[in-house]
Amino acid sequence: MFGLGLLSFIADKPCYRLSIRTDGQVELRWRFPFHARRKTVAVDRLIPAEVVEIRDSEGDPYFLACVRSHEGDVLHIAESAARQDCEQACDRLNALLPQHATA
């Protein structure tokens, strides 16, 4: 039983990848154990990366560095118990995005 529960949990957790192309497009990828999803969007359809605070299973603060598209797609580019780590990840990504990424 434990194996099935763990498999179910892992199967729902993607690995994320974001690639900035020279043609003004950004490729978003979600890779799951049994399938993958890929979407290409114009960089101006991205909302600058930001830190989102959630709670872990013990109720302590936990942070996600997220980038979203205007269409509602979400990629987690970093996660940590330290807000500063996620803020730095957001700053690095936002510095790479052309200035026409919009809020």
Give the pLDDT confidence of 29-72 residue by residue, as tens digits: 989 888 899 999 999 999 999 999 999 989 999 999 999 999 99
Residue 103 lies in a domain: no
Number of independent structural domains in the chain: 1
| Structural domain boundaries, residue 13 | 2-96
Q: Is the pLDDT of residue 4 over 80?
A: no
Residue 101 lies in a domain: no
| pLDDT for the residue numbered 7 | 47
Task: Compute the distance between CA of residue 48 and CA of residue 100 in angstroms, rounded to an integer.
Answer: 10
pLDDT-derived band at 102 (thresholds 50, 70, 90) equals low
Domain containing residue 58: CATH number? 2.30.29
| pLDDT for the residue numbered 6 | 46
More confident residue, 86 or 34: 86
Structure-token pair, residue 41: 């969007």
Give the pLDDT confidence of 21-30 residue by residue, as tens digits: 989 899 999 8
For residue 12, with 0-12 CB atoms within 10 Å meaning exposed, 13-18 middle and 19 or more buried, which class applies? exposed
Contacts of 84 (CB under 8 A, 6+ apart): none
Residue 36 lies in a domain: yes
